[in-house]
Amino acid sequence: MSLTTPPRPHDPLEAVPELARFARSATRLHPRQGEPVETQSSVGGPLLWPAEEPWPLCRLEHDDQDITPFDLDLQIRHARRMSEPKDGRFDRMDFSSRLALSRQCTLDLVTEAYPVFDLLGPAPLIPIAQLFYGDVPGLPWADRYDLLQILWCPRDHTGTEYDAPYCPAFQLRWRRTDMIGEVLTAVPEPALVDERYMPNPCLLNPEVVTEYPFSKSLPPDLEDAVRDWEDRLGIQALYNNQTAVAPGWKVMGHGGYWGIIDPEPMFCECGAEQFPLFTADSGEFGGGSRSWQPIEEAGTEWEFADPVDVTIGRGYTLGLYYCPDSEHHQGRTEMF
């Protein structure tokens, strides 16, 4: 299935043509629930992981706000999907049904003499995205790699110089598929997870779109020109909501919509500016970004608004930035 972002309802380039030089391509992933296998691009699907390579462990300090046993979460998700099958569509179960189901699953599990957890030991990460370059345009270092695997530790962390606090922590693997021999089948799983950071398995429908900087990141004269354009049309936040950055799960582009904190330049220790590599979002669109709903899904209301069902903070996004000079330089995460 191909999914298409509708033309922007208003074109700021007609009023501010200088914006054109700030344009960047982003690839919207358009994840939709499915049953991905390890040879497919996915969000929350299995990885094509070399059998001889150790699975990554998180050794950071945790500051959990809310944790759940890993397989309890899987059971709850499965029960929710089965409770009202809708051809893989998003099921927005009401809060009390969800709570009741969660309690029942907890009781079932406890009665099975659940194993003791090692709360303090290193915890295996879970797959977040597998991006084959052949499916997802725009990824860096295409001369050397044809596969990017993104994992995270699905718990809250205290935060470091590089990692946002109260967020899951990423690890990346850049690969060449022709170097992968036997594939790992017994994938380690964490004992405890935060339910908010557990993605539903989704297949991808990548689409390249054009993004522009968040208004406060523009040179002052262009920021003023954009505001004048919004004033003339009488629509507040029109540029940021409808033009600048696409909502939802995506790679590259201008990344996030600065809102929690003011925009700040992102630089690597080597001095190079860091760029958005991957953005995890709490949904594919919201009330203010409805115009980004794909043409092919027009009229589906909220069914495809949040197929992945991950929540960052209070419905924010988590941006993973990388250094264009080297894949070996430390990346950075920022919550938007």
Binding site for Zn ion (CB under 5 A): 58, 60, 153, 268, 270, 272, 323, 325, 329
Minimum CB–partner distance for residue 62 and Zn ion (Å)? 5
Give me the least distance between CB of 259 and Zn ion, in Å please: 26
Nearer to Zn ion, 18 or 325 (CB): 325
Report, in Å, the least distance between residue 60 CB and Zn ion: 5
Q: Compute the distance between CA of residue 182 and CA of residue 58 in angstroms, rounded to an integer.
A: 24
The SS3 of residue 14 is helix
Q: To the nearest whole angstrom, how small is the minimum distance from the Cβ of residue 270 to Zn ion?
A: 3
Smaller CB distance to Zn ion: residue 167 or 323?
A: 323
In the complex with Zn ion, the residue whose CB is nearer, 126 or 305, is 126
Mapped onto helix, strand or coil, the DSSP state of residue 250 is: strand
- Residue among 64 and 296 whose Cβ is closer to Zn ion: 64
Long-range CB pairs of 225-233 (<8 Å, 24+ gap) are 225/15, 225/16, 225/18, 226/12, 226/16, 226/19, 228/15, 229/12, 229/15, 229/16, 232/15, 233/10
CB of 173 to Zn ion, least distance (A): 17
Whichever of 7 and 271 has its CB closer to Zn ion, that residue is 271
State which residue, 69 or 248, has the beta carbon closest to Zn ion: 69
User: Among residues 148 and 203, whose Cβ is nearest to Zn ion?
Assistant: 148
**Selection from 180, 158, 179 nearest residue 169 by Cα:** 158
Based on CB atoms, which residue is closest to Zn ion, 51 or 270? 270
Phi, psi of 300 (to 5 degrees): -90, 10
> What are the C-alpha distances in Å from 321 to residues 110, 168, 245?
40, 14, 15
Residues 6+ away with beta carbon under 8 Å from 225: 15, 16, 18
Contact residues for 111 (Cβ-Cβ < 8 A; gap 6+): none
C-alpha distance across the termini of the chain, in Å: 30
Rg of the chain (C-alpha set): 20
In the complex, least distance from residue 257 CB atom to Zn ion, rounded to whole angstroms: 25
Q: Spell out the residues 6+ positions from residue 196 whose beta carbon is closer than 8 angstroms to its own.
A: 66, 310, 311, 312
CA proximity to 27, closest of 132, 151, 145: 132
Q: Are 44 and 308 in contact (CB under 8 A)?
A: yes
Question: Smallest gap, in angstroms, from Cβ of residue 53 to Zn ion?
Answer: 19
Strands (E), 55-145: 57-58, 68-69, 123-124, 126-132
- For residue 154, the minimal CB distance to Zn ion (Å) is 8
